[in-house]
Amino acid sequence: MKKNMIKVIQSKGNSRNPRRQFLKLGGLAVAGTGLMLSCSLDEEFATPLPNQEPDANSDHEEPANGIFDLGEGDLGVLNYAYALEQLEADFYTKVVNGFYSNISEEERIVLTDLYNHEVNHREFFRAAIGAEVGDKMELMLPDLEFDYGDLDFSSRDQVLNIAKALEDTGVSAYNGAGKLLTNPTYLVLAGKIVSVEARHAAAIRTLINPGSADFAGDDVVDPTNALDLARDPSEVLAAVAGLGYVQTQFTANFLP
């Protein structure tokens, strides 16, 4: 069966509005299988290398095209979560190292906490994956590189809206990935983290729109059954690729 093929590739020179692009491509991602997203105008990566097809008999651990694949099963999900946590941690590192001007004390505390939590999560996944792969370190997602293009870290609106997108995406990603995990320990660990991401999302949403119902707004919590979003990795990674911040290519050919 052919799986979605998501490429996270170079985005230097991308001048589109990050948030609009995120939403647009997030919607596009459900359009079909075999979807390949590229937001790159960079010569070097303008023509993505052909990616291998998932094949039960192939050794996906060493893809012929040299592009890292997250892998399958629990390891694939851990690498997937690790990718998201790397992005969040890196983003908040940028935020706290140059807060937008006139930031309120409350916002400074919230964003600093989010930085602390996400860095902790990132290092936790590094450790957990390290334990999982043993000496096969080539199966661990490498340190990703990021470039935020035109994102203006001195803009409160931009910082908070990207934070909101990242936190909501994290919630939907963990909610969608739970069923992919077979090891109960990992399921509980994902549960321990996702609720903190949801706490973050609510806080950021209220900072953006104080006094509103946005903390669990109808845009993320279906008002008919009150369920939060749950998304498959392909959809989440397409949305992340759409942000254009992740510079390191990887694929998720063995995740739905």
Restricting to residues 156-175, which ones interact with other proteins according to CB under 8 A?
Answer: 171, 174-175
Does residue 224 touch other proteins according to CB under 8 A?
yes
Those residues with Cβ within 8 angstroms of residue 164's Cβ, 6 or more apart along the chain or in another chain: 201, 204, 205, 208
- DSSP designation for 244: T
> How many CB atoms lie under 10 A from the CB of residue 134?
8
> Which residue, 149 or 178, is less far from other proteins as judged by CB?
178
Options 7-15, 62-70, 147-155, 226-234: segment touching other proteins (CB under 8 A): 226-234
Least gap, CB of 251 to other proteins (angstroms): 24
Please report whether residue 137 would count as binding other proteins according to CB under 8 A.
Answer: no
Interface with other proteins, residue 54, by CB under 8 A: no
The one segment of 47-55, 137-145, 225-233, 247-255 that binds other proteins by CB under 8 A: 225-233
- Residue among 22, 145, 142, 11 nearest 71 (CA): 142
Residue whose tokens read 């931009």: 158
Closest Cα to residue 18, out of 213, 193, 165, 231? 165
Start-to-end C-alpha separation, the chain: 11
56 makes contact with other proteins (CB under 8 A): no
3-state secondary structure 102-166: CCCHHHHHHHHHHHHHHHHHHHHHHHHHHHHHCCCHHHCCCCCCECCCCCCCCCHHHHHHHHHHH
Does 134 interact with other proteins (rule: CB under 8 A)? no
Find the shortest distance in angstroms from Cβ 34 to other proteins. 25
Which residues ranging from 181 to 220 are in contact with other proteins (CB under 8 A)? 181, 184-189, 191-203, 206, 210-213, 215-216
User: CB 46 → other proteins: shortest distance, Å?
Assistant: 37
> Is 103 one of the binding residues for other proteins (CB under 8 A)?
no
User: Got the DSSP string for 17-28?
Assistant: -HHHHHHHHHHH
Which of 25, 81, 119, 255 lies at the binding interface for other proteins (CB under 8 A)? 119
- Using CB under 8 A, list all residues that contact other proteins: 109-110, 112-113, 115-121, 123-124, 126-128, 131, 171, 174-176, 178-179, 181, 184-189, 191-203, 206, 210-213, 215-216, 221, 223-230
